[in-house]
């Protein structure tokens, strides 16, 4: 359902993920329970058997609609990590794309509760100078944070040039004979 991100020149896609299916379990179980109630009731009561399609529409329809909309929203949400930016896509009817340049990222934090750590799920908090963005809930949030950190490190040039010469500025040891140069340093 989601489209491929528009990449800039010399930019390549590192990873593309779909967040976890949050909120699908309760509507799915509600659909199964309502369906079971209507079928079991139709087997025991003639009135329910006579109006079984109406009962299905009334009892199964609303949780099925909730399940369908949440499933659609889940499948239309993507997170792309490229060599230069983080791209979040959401929406099926109204497609929304937001991006964060890797140069703007100040820090990354992984938020997990105890049960989320057991299931290896969580939210990645991206702190930028403009504010905070949340990525998730995703599977293996630590791995996503490591991938983003690795992409950030590749983007940042080292602060020291390769031709820099480092000289120690330590005082001369006490066992050296005192010369004119040693006296001036002290």
Tokens 């509507």 locate to 27
Averaged over 81-101, what is the pLDDT?
86
Reported pTM: 0.63
Question: Among 2-11, 43-52, 102-111, 114-123, which is the least confidently predicted range?
Answer: 2-11
Question: Which stretches of 47-155 are assigned E, i.e. beta strand?
Answer: 78-82, 85-90, 96-101, 105-111, 121-128, 132-139
Q: What residue spans define the domains of the chain?
A: 13-155
Structural fold of domain 13-155: PH-domain like (2.30.29)
Token pair in block for residue 130: 């403009």
Q: Is the peptide bond before 166 cis (omega within 30 degrees of 0)?
A: no
Please say if the pLDDT value at position 183 is more than 60. no
Sequence-separated (6 or more) residues with CB below 8 Å from residue 141: 110, 111, 112, 121, 122, 123, 124, 135
Sequence-separated (6 or more) residues with CB below 8 Å from residue 131: none
Position 74 confidence tier, pLDDT thresholds 50, 70, 90: confident
pLDDT at position 1 is 46
Q: What are residue 24's phi and psi, to 5 degrees?
A: -95, -20
Report the distance separating Cα 138 and Cα 118, nearest Å. Answer: 13
Question: Among 2-16, 31-45, 151-165, which is the least confidently predicted range?
Answer: 151-165
Report the distance separating Cα 99 and Cα 90, nearest Å. Answer: 12
Position 2 confidence tier, pLDDT thresholds 50, 70, 90: very low
Q: Which helix (H) or strand (E) holds 73?
A: helix 61-75
Q: What pLDDT, in 10s, does the model give residues 96-120?
A: 888 899 988 999 999 999 998 998 8
Please say if the pLDDT value at position 184 is more than 60. no
pLDDT at position 109 is 92
Q: What pLDDT, in 10s, does the model give residues 146-178?
A: 999 998 888 665 555 556 666 667 676 677 666
pLDDT at position 33 is 92
Sequence-separated (6 or more) residues with CB below 8 Å from residue 49: 42, 43
Averaged over 76-89, what is the pLDDT?
88
Q: Which helix (H) or strand (E) holds 39?
A: helix 25-44
pLDDT at position 127 is 92
């Amino acid at each position: 359902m989601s489209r491929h991100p528009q990449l800039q020149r010399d930019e390549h896609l590192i990873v593309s993920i779909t967040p976890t299916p949050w909120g699908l379990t309760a509507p799915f179980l509600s659909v199964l329970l309502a369906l079971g109630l209507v079928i079991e009731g139709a087997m025991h009561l003639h009135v329910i058997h006579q109006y079984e399609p109406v009962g299905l529409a009334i009892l199964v329809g609303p949780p099925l609609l909730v399940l369908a909309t949440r499933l659609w929203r889940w499948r239309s949400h993507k997170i792309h990590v490229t060599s230069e930016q983080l791209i979040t896509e959401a929406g099926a009817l109204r497609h929304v794309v937001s991006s964060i340049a890797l140069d703007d990222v100040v820090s990354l934090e992984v938020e997990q509760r105890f049960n989320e750590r057991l299931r290896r799920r969580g939210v990645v908090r991206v702190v930028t100078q403009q504010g905070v963005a949340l990525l998730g809930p995703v599977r293996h949030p630590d791995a996503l944070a490591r991938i983003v950190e690795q992409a950030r490190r590749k983007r940042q040039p080292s602060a020291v040039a390769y031709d820099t010469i480092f000289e120690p500025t330590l005082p001369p040891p006490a066992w050296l004979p005192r010369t004119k140069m040693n006296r001036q340093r002290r």
